[in-house]
Structure 1
Amino acid sequence: MSENDMADTRPAITDTATAVPRLYDRLLAALGPQSWWPAESAFEVLVGAVLTQNAAWRNVEQAVDRLQARDWMTPEAILAAPREALAECLRPSGYYNVKSQRLRAACETWLALGGEAGLIDMETAAMRSALLEVKGLGPESVDDVLLYGFGRPVFVVDAYTRRIFSRIGLVSPRVGYDGLQALFHDALAPDVGQFNEFHALIVTIGKSYCRPRTPRCEACPLRGDCAHGLARRNQRS
């Protein structure tokens, strides 16, 4: 039986306005606060958002440490850095030549928009639109910057979010970014703290329990709400 077949063994939850807040409460009670994002400034969040693409966070931290050791954790310093040396700093994060180009492009846009001070004064939609123009910055990376760097009430969704909430039965596995984000925007008040915490909790569940091929459904805090987990249990019975 395929994952899509298992997800269809129980009707999808239709009352998302109630279900989404309940799932948040269950995760917070089970896992506790996650204290995200580990960065000291909005610009550092931008750097992390670029480097974390297709990379484990521990590897991103190594690259950030290398930048800080050279005193290159400013857009001006990154743009002035020799290209080969910058790429070498980013090596631990993987795809370092591509990421050095993307980081430089992000820094150019950052400065063109007036730096952190200029971005703070921008409306959320305008800031999001401007950052999405940067080659290599997709919706998830930009929304990381908006939520964690500037405290804007924009919910960040990722592969973990799609996997977990499609298995539960709230969305299709093929749902797009905007549709999945709308699920949270429609069901929750625009609370930056809750958006921050919920996304972090989802990442923890995705890494520790709701794995792609070997999910730990029996131990998952969401097992009572999950159509996928129910199907797995029925298979064994």
Structure 2
Amino acid sequence: MKPPIHNVFETLLAHYGEQHWWPAESRFEMMIGAILTQNTAWTNVEKALSNLRKNDALNLQTLENAPRERLIEWIRPAGFFNQKAVYIQEMVSNIRNRFNGSLDALFALKPFELRRELLAWKGIGKETADSIILYAAEKPVFVIDAYTKRICRRHGWIDDKAKYDDVAELFTQHLPEEVRLFNEYHALIVRTCKDYCTARNPNCAECPLKGFL
């Protein structure tokens, strides 16, 4: 049976309205946030970003020149700070050395080329790469995270063996390739999982998607 992918989007949009993601003041800040949000809650990312903002560090030059120990202290609230400091400075180095410090040059790559480029960078996996492509580069890829897999699995659209690209294809096959649509859909899924489709004790009775079970 064809999964009701588009109907699910319309239901969530009617329930919540637009989410206006990604919460960042610049494309570069969004990229930093995509690394910081790995394995942590967004509230912790906000604290780390606030530290970076207070120290005028949300730019290539500051992050490139900052001692790693200082960067670690700035991003400590986000957890896994030693690893993430390495990832951030590696990203800065790649932008500087491979694209002359220009995000425009980086994002001029075609989506598949940009994804391949980002995946070659230390600490950038598929979810982080696709988040950057969708929210910073504004190219139509569908971001798959634990929330998306949870909703799809609980509604029987995927099984436990489904891989990242399989789940992404479930959405891209049934939706027009539109950045705004993919942006809103992913944000709405995250909101739904936080409010209703929690990992433990989901509130299916009041979930806006209860009609799809």
Match of 1:143 among 124, 130, 136: 130
Residue 217 of structure 1 aligns with an amino acid whose one-letter code is C
Choose the corresponding residue for 1:176, options 163, 172, 186. Answer: 163
The Cα shift of 1:124 comes to: 1.2
The letter of the residue matching 2:44 is: N
Give the counterpart of 2:32 among 25, 36, 47: 47
Q: Return the alpha-carbon distance in structure 2 between the equivalents of residues 124 and 74 of structure 1.
A: 24
Correspondence for 1:96 among 58, 81, 91: 81
Q: Which amino acid aligns with 1:131?
A: L
Counterpart pick for 2:42 among 49, 52, 57: 57
Match status 1:130 vs 2:117: yes
Cα separation, 2, equivalents of 1:163 and 1:121: 33
- The residue number in structure 2 matching 1:11 is none
Instruction: Give the counterpart of 1:87 among 72, 80, 83.
Output: 72
User: Which residue identity lines up with residue 200 of structure 1 in the other structure?
Assistant: A
User: What's the secondary structure of 1:217's corresponding residue?
Assistant: coil
Deviation at residue 71 of structure 1 after TM alignment: 1.3
Superposed CA offset, 1:190-218 (max 9, x none) = 01001000000000111111111210011
Identity across matched positions, percent: 40
Aligned length: 211
Match of 2:22 in 1: 37
Q: What are structure 2's unaligned runs of at least 5 residues? A: none
Say what the alpha-carbon RMSD is for the aligned residues: 1.0
Residue matched to 1:162? 149
Q: In 2, are the aligned partners of 1:50 and 1:137 still within 8 Å (CA)? A: yes
**Taking CA–CA contacts closer than 8 Å with sequence separation of 6 or more, which of the two structures ends up with the larger relative contact order?**
1
Quick check: 1:109–1:131 contact (8 Å CA) kept in 2?
Answer: no
1:202 is matched by which residue type in structure 2? I
1:213 to 200, 203, 208: 200
What are the superposed Cα offsets for residues 68-105 of structure 1, whole Å, 9 maximum, x if unpaired? 11111112211210111110000010111111011111
Structure 1 outlier segments of 4+, above 6 Å: none
Distance 1:215 1:120 in 2: 39
CA deviation string 1:5-37 (max 9, x = no partner): xxxxxxxxx213xx1001101111111111111
Q: Which residue among 105, 113, 117 is the counterpart of 1:118?
A: 105
Identify the residue that residue 7 of structure 1 maps to in structure 2. none
After TM superposition, the score normalised by the length of structure 1 is 0.86
Scaled by the length of structure 2, what TM-score is found? 0.96
